[in-house]
Chain A
Amino acid sequence: MISFNKIKESLDIKSVEDFKLGFRQGIPVMMGYIPVSFTFGLLAVQGGIDIWIAVLISMTNLTSAGQFAGINLIIAGAPMVEISVAMLVINIRYMLMSLSLSQKLPSFVSLFKRSAIAFGITDEIFAIASLEKRVITFPYMMGLVVAPYWGWAFGTLLGGVFTSLLPPLLQNSMGIALYAMFIALLVPAAKHSKAALAVILIAAFTSSAFKWMPALNQISAGWSIIISAVFASAVGALLYPKDGENIE
């Protein structure tokens, strides 16, 4: 009986340690999330969305590109089908991350725990968890996600509150912030990989064609992004197929 209690105790200590380790690794992610979600809250409220809706989106979606695209479509009054397909295409990368993490989790981790872990899969959390040398545990994953999650929600709230305090000139200029962040993600990738550069250029040219070419410009922005992205990814996969296990 004593030995059983000892085992139980050591397991609990292990859980707390794992949670703490994850929590510490999540702090820099939280720091990065606050300005991005600040911008999201700002853009949403500027577009006429209530602050509490913006915060609700952040707390239920927890995804940057998907939320930005989604809020743009909502503000533009896009139909539900368009919003659904946009979410699917923009967030489809999480499938690969989820699949990759499923291979790293011990097989005894229950469906309930897997469901909780799945909610927190973002680009950054995936990157940290997948590079962690130790075995991924449930407490570790919960610790990792907690700071970024609340940072994401809090940043959104701050952005929404501050919108009305910004002067109009700066409010107009803030519109470019989101796209500048996309550029901050794209340009370094293009610098290091010819394939990424090709895919980005094909996607950019295709979506520009949908904007500026007669006939093609009848297609809405939401579908233009989807068609351009699927086309560019397919060309990339055909021209520059990725081999081996090192796909993240």
Chain B
Amino acid sequence: MNDILKAVVLMATITYAIRLLPIAVFKSKIKSRFVRSFLFYTPFAVLGAMTFPAILYSTGNIYFSLAGTIAAIIPAYFEKSLFKVALSAVVVAAIFGAIF
């Protein structure tokens, strides 16, 4: 089995184990307020760390990426759908790429 397939099996196994363990084992709620709060904030923290600064390197040109980032933040602030926000960023980054 090659390394890519091994990585895929690993990813699937870990992701499934995380989902399975509590529903199969835990009968009572987590008591620790810290742990509950930590888990509550984890998605925001992970997405924040994954997005910045990586988004600035996502199109191969930092200025086009910056334009695309701003083009994403504005519709996101007005709570447009995932698809519209993504489209806005891609189109603006492409327009900047075509002009400059």
Residues on A close to B: CB < 8 A?
A: 32, 35-36, 39, 49, 53, 56-57, 60-63, 65-70, 73-74, 80, 83-84, 87-99, 101-103, 105, 111, 114-115, 117-119, 121, 123, 169-170, 172-189, 191, 195-196, 199-208, 211-212, 221, 224-225, 228-234, 236-238, 240-243, 247-248
Contact = CB atoms under 8 A, between A and B. Distances in A.
A187 B89 contact: no
Summarize A's interface: helix, strand, loop or mixed.
helix
A94 B37 contact: no
Contact of A203 (B44, B75, B79): B44
A176 B60 contact: no
Name the residue in B5, B12, B23, B97 with the highest tally of chain A Cβ atoms < 10 Å from its Cβ. Answer: B23
A229 B11 contact: no
Contacts of B7: 70, 73-74, 80, 83
A70 B52 contact: no
A238 B48 contact: no
Contact of B39 (A92, A187, A221): A92
Interface in B73-94: 73, 75-77, 79-83, 85-86, 88-91, 93-94
Contacts of B35: 237
Contacts of B93: 172-173, 176
Interface of B: 4-12, 14-16, 18-24, 26-27, 29-30, 33-55, 58-60, 64-65, 68-69, 71-73, 75-77, 79-83, 85-86, 88-91, 93-94, 97-98
28 contacts: A32-B83, A35-B83, A84-B14, A94-B18, A95-B39, A98-B23, A99-B26, A102-B24, A103-B29, A170-B90, A173-B94, A177-B89, A180-B71, A184-B75, A185-B47, A185-B82, A186-B76, A195-B41, A200-B45, A203-B44, A207-B53, A225-B46, A228-B48, A229-B45, A233-B42, A236-B44, A237-B34, A248-B40
